Structure 1
């Protein structure tokens, strides 16, 4: 008996540990998926805008771009290592030399949200070697609403490096995650009516099946609570008759048509005594 009890206790412990692991893994609060992004100004509005992008986390968005004889591959990841480069939110890879340049890091993030868009800014990228007063690069990713797709392809809009300060790379991405919630157009009365119709359908179908399969009723008796509804119908008809009629049925009508009853036969008068004898 002891040998049998030990495996049972061991299995219970294993199940307990497994349940605890599942519960601890499912207890991810809102915003944990984007916690790797360090906001410059950790305001509630920016954090809320960033949380709207949670469906895009841990996905590498890749796009190729050709400028004259130069060919580059850009990789963007939300709050994660783009292209496997630690700390990089957006990288640029030269297809000839395979050199990877960090355009923006997610530890320096800004998030600006609108009604149907979110603008994500990664700063503190690698320094320019010649352009933009040798400042650090920064990437701006404009994520716009598109309800038709979950997430679209990444597109390169431009690289503005001809200014003295604050040069940037601009990218575009469409996603349904930033779309505003569609408000329900059903009124309270419509919702109540839909619920009432559903309840009535369940009552009729369930009652019909019960009467037919369990009780064994046939014909109109299959209708649930048939006797009750017949009585209700009769009472309703009587009530309508009582309310709607202006005169009592017992009163004689003012005009009576020709009666269908047979008339009484009058006694026949004989005139035999007028004949000459």
Structure 2
């Protein structure tokens, strides 16, 4: 009924690895969902086809608009309108094309996020929107920055549940439990069974009392010291300071 040190270590490593199970390595453009297809499922932004996103740069107060599904037209009366998928608004009288929908390209970055790239019609401006999965969270669109070394390149992000791949080409939002959610549930169920079952055995069979009823007590009391030693070992790059130099 008791877990060995190696079993506990394996379980902890598995738990830490769960955060990466939704990472993707490819993102193939999909016009039907305004998103992309990945090996984990489909990222769909179609529900934003009629409203898109909007955020402002706190430094300049410029406003940035993005519609992931199509080009839209913006402009005031008497001012030449701008039609694009991503638009920069300097004022109500001045707008710039930062990316047209027909130039949209999708990919996955090194962190496993979906990335949307767009060029303006005249190719003088470029926009990059990184779509970060955060299960169960509302979608938040943010203007990040303009590249200081290459003016005209704009970085934005969309973070939330919609950026999580869904099986069956969903419209965003959870279509069921992800692999990470299932592993978390299994991990905590096993942990509860281990603790409760272990305490019962310690109390009934071994007649233990007080804190001695905790299963593998010596292991858990040693964990803080093991973590401390691990940090020291990592910081010292594995070099021992227990010997005098010759």
Which TM-score band (shorter chain)? 0.3 to 0.5
Determine which structure has more spread, i.e. the larger CA radius of gyration: 1
- Structure number with the higher strand fraction is 2
Greater relative CO, 1 or 2 (CA 8 Å, sep 6+): 2
Q: Scaled by the length of structure 1, what TM-score is found?
A: 0.41
